[in-house]
Amino acid sequence: MAKKTGDRAQLHELLYQALETEIGGIRLYKAAVACAVNQDLHKEWEDYLNETTTHRQVLLSVFELLGLDPETRTPGREVVEHLGASMVRAIEMARQAGDPIAAQRVAAECVVLAETKDHANWELIGLACDHLQAKEAKEAEVLRQAYDAVHRDEDHHLYYTPRAGRASCGSTRWASPP
Ligand SMILES: [Fe+2]
Ligand SMILES: [Fe+2]
């Protein structure tokens, strides 16, 4: 029974961190878009900003359906918020330094870091669906629908952005992903 309670607490902690990751991602993409010199990268990050906004809304619906308070703060969530704010600050620092290409590269590196966490969150949410017990069917269904709505976006976010390294070397266009 104690293990069950612990598992439930861990799942909720994952959801709090996932929500904070999406909130931080919105701020990060706004900062990154402002640094994008490459036209394709600018469009891609604008699209990811919109998708990240949708992901936050998907999670808010999950919170509502599961009766969780989206304002709840946890130590892990505080760390996620701190890291997100630090990356936005890093992008602003690079922008103020006056080298647009270097600032774009810093933004791309921060996006990759943030998307690594975002992708991991959703992978874990998908795994959690598979491990919930039969009497937790409602919770599993809510999480499954959220996972199905988001996880392909997260694959794309994580695996596309490293191409920004090419843009950071000075090109203003390069081929979009298939
Ligand atoms: Fe996301
Ligand atoms: Fe993402």
What does the pLDDT look like over 31-80, one tens digit per residue? 999 999 999 999 999 999 999 999 999 999 999 999 999 999 999 999 99
User: What one-letter code names the amino acid at 155?
Assistant: D
Residue 89 has pLDDT above 80, yes or no: yes
Q: Find the 84 Cα to ligand 2 centroid distance in Å.
A: 13
Ligand with the closest atom to the CA of 22 = 1
Q: Using CA atoms, how far apart are residues 126 and 16, in angstroms rounded to an integer?
A: 15
**Domain 2-166 sits in CATH 1.20.1260.10:** yes
| pLDDT tens sequence across 126-175 | 999 888 876 788 899 999 999 999 999 999 999 887 765 555 555 444 44
| pLDDT tens sequence across 11-28 | 999 999 999 999 999 999
Other beta carbons less than 10 A from residue 147's beta carbon? 20
Q: Find the 63 Cα to ligand 1 centroid distance in Å.
A: 16
Question: CB neighbours of 97 closer than 8 A, spacing ≥ 6?
Answer: 103
Q: Find the 113 Cα to ligand 1 centroid distance in Å.
A: 12
Q: Find the 117 Cα to ligand 1 centroid distance in Å.
A: 9
Ligand with the closest atom to the CA of 146 = 1
- At 28, list the tokens: 């990060």
**Separation of first and last alpha carbons in the chain:** 48
Q: Find the 171 Cα to ligand 1 centroid distance in Å.
A: 27
Crossing angle, helix 39-66 and helix 100-131, to 10 degrees?
A: 30
| pLDDT tens sequence across 96-139 | 999 999 999 999 999 999 999 999 999 999 999 888 876 788 89
Closest CA to 59 of 7, 17, 26: 17
Other beta carbons less than 10 A from residue 30's beta carbon? 15
**What is the overall mean pLDDT for the chain?**
89
Q: Where are the domains of the chain?
A: 2-166
Ligand with the closest atom to the CA of 113 = 2
The predicted pLDDT at position 177 comes to 45
Q: Find the 116 Cα to ligand 2 centroid distance in Å.
A: 8
Q: Find the 23 Cα to ligand 1 centroid distance in Å.
A: 9
The predicted pLDDT at position 148 comes to 96
